């Protein structure tokens, strides 16, 4: 079997014994020799965090698999591939469920075997369980905050959160002007033009458009209706 080796260290890990690039390379080569695997190339991501899959080395390795240059990816440990449950689930589902083989020296994962596929399924199940558990905890925490009277929604233009409550910000007067102009039957386009000519910036520092103005008005009406007509 032709395979690609993949090694990674973050900036903090570069000198760590057992995690260094040289140590990982040696383990992959020894593993390949033991199981008669031909390593075409060992691809490196040096000084790169595993918080994202946007890594030059990993992208190259996955493209080589897609191009049919190799059939498997060999790593020393799963955390060299990713530390994110979501990203691991994505990689397993898109690449290693049935298209290519994944071999991890540390976890003894080899998806060519029934035992390896079993471990893979367990990992995917655990990943799903962790996602659902995190979702439940987040939901419970948000419900608790809501019960305590804390504001948990988004913060629109003209508002801010102070003492865990949604209150008017200094620029709320702009919102009041927008609503007033609209009540005077001025068009959304005309209001946006006024704001741009006055060099008023949106919450993101950009230009105003009819849709932006409409969103502000709708959000203001929603806030007022939820708070008895005032904040």
Please provide the size of the chain in residues.
231
Half-sphere exposure of 19 (CA within 13 A, CB side): 16
Q: Catalytic pick from 10, 84, 203, 214?
A: 10
Query: Could you write out the DSSP letters of every residue in 116-157?
Result: HHHHHHHHHHHHHHHHHHHHHHHHHHHHHHHHTT---S---T
Listed residue (46, 43, 35, 38) closest to 11, CA to CA: 46
Active site residue 203: no
Phi, psi of 33 (to 5 degrees): -65, -40
Task: Give, rounded to a whole angstrom, the gap between the first and last alpha carbons of the chain.
Answer: 67
For residue 136, count other CB atoms closer than 10 A to its CB.
Answer: 10
Contact indicator for 104, 75 with CB cutoff of 8 Å: yes
Contact indicator for 176, 216 with CB cutoff of 8 Å: no
b/e 98-107 (16+ beta carbons within 10 angstroms → b):
eebbbbbbeb
Catalytic residues: 10
């Amino acid at each position: 079997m032709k395979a690609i080796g993949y090694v990674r260290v973050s900036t903090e890990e570069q000198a760590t014994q057992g995690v260094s690039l040289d140590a990982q390379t040696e383990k992959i080569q020894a593993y390949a020799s033991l199981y008669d695997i031909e390593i075409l190339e060992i691809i490196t991501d040096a000084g790169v965090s595993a918080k994202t899959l946007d890594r030059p080395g990993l992208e190259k390795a996955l493209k080589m698999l897609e191009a049919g240059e190799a059939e498997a990816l060999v790593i020393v440990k799963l955390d060299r591939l990713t530390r994110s449950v979501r990203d691991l689930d994505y990689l397993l589902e898109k690449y290693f469920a049935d298209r290519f083989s994944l071999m991890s020296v540390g976890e003894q994962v080899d998806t060519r075997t029934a035992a390896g596929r079993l471990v893979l399924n367990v990992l995917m199940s655990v990943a799903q369980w962790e996602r659902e558990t995190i979702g439940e905890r987040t939901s419970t925490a948000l419900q608790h905050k809501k019960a305590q009277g804390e504001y948990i929604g988004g913060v629109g233009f003209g508002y801010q959160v102070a003492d865990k409550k949604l209150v008017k910000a200094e620029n709320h007067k702009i919102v009041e002007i927008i609503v007033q102009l609209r009540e005077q039957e001025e068009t959304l386009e005309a209001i946006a033009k006024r704001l741009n000519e006055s060099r008023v910036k949106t919450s993101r520092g950009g230009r105003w458009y009819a849709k932006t103005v409409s969103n502000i008005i709708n959000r203001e009406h929603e806030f007022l209706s939820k708070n008895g007509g005032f904040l």
